[in-house]
Amino acid sequence: MTLIPGETQPGFTELFAQLGLDNDEASIAQFIRQHTPLADDVLLHDAPFWSPQQAQMLKEKIKCDDDWAIVVDQLNVALRVKPTLEKI
C-alpha cells in the first residue's frame, strides 16, 4: 500500500491490518505485551512469531524507507521496551 499525497501517516492499526492481524487497540496492545521484549540481537523481521509472508512484508517496508518504514520502526521499538516492575 502506498500513501496518496494528503493521506495521513499510517499507524499501528493500518500496519496490523496489512499484516493480517487483529488491528483494534486492545488486540495491538495484547500482541505487544505477548511478544515483549524482543531480544536486541533479533531483527524485527526475524522474530519467530511472524509468518514468512509477514516477515517478508516487514523487511520490504523497512527497505523502502517511506512512511511505512516509520511505523514498522515504531513497532520495532515498542517490542523492545523491557517491562518495568512496579514497586508494591
pLDDT single digits (tens) 13-61: 999 999 999 999 999 999 999 999 999 999 999 999 999 999 999 999 9
List domains and CATH numbers for the chain.
Answer: 12-80 (1.10.10.1130)
Percentage of the chain exceeding pLDDT 90: 76
Q: What is the pLDDT of residue 3?
A: 45
pTM: 0.82
Please check whether residue 36 is in contact with residue 78, taking contact to mean a CB–CB distance below 8 angstroms.
yes
Task: Evaluate if residue 62 carries a pLDDT over 50.
Answer: yes
What pLDDT is stored for residue 4 in this prediction? 47
Does the bond joining 37 to the residue before it have cis omega, within 30 degrees of 0?
yes
Report d(CA 47, CA 55) in Å as an integer: 8
Distance CA 62, CA 73 (A): 8
**Sequential DSSP letters for 31-62:** HHHHHPSPPTTS-GGG-TTS-HHHHHHHHHHH
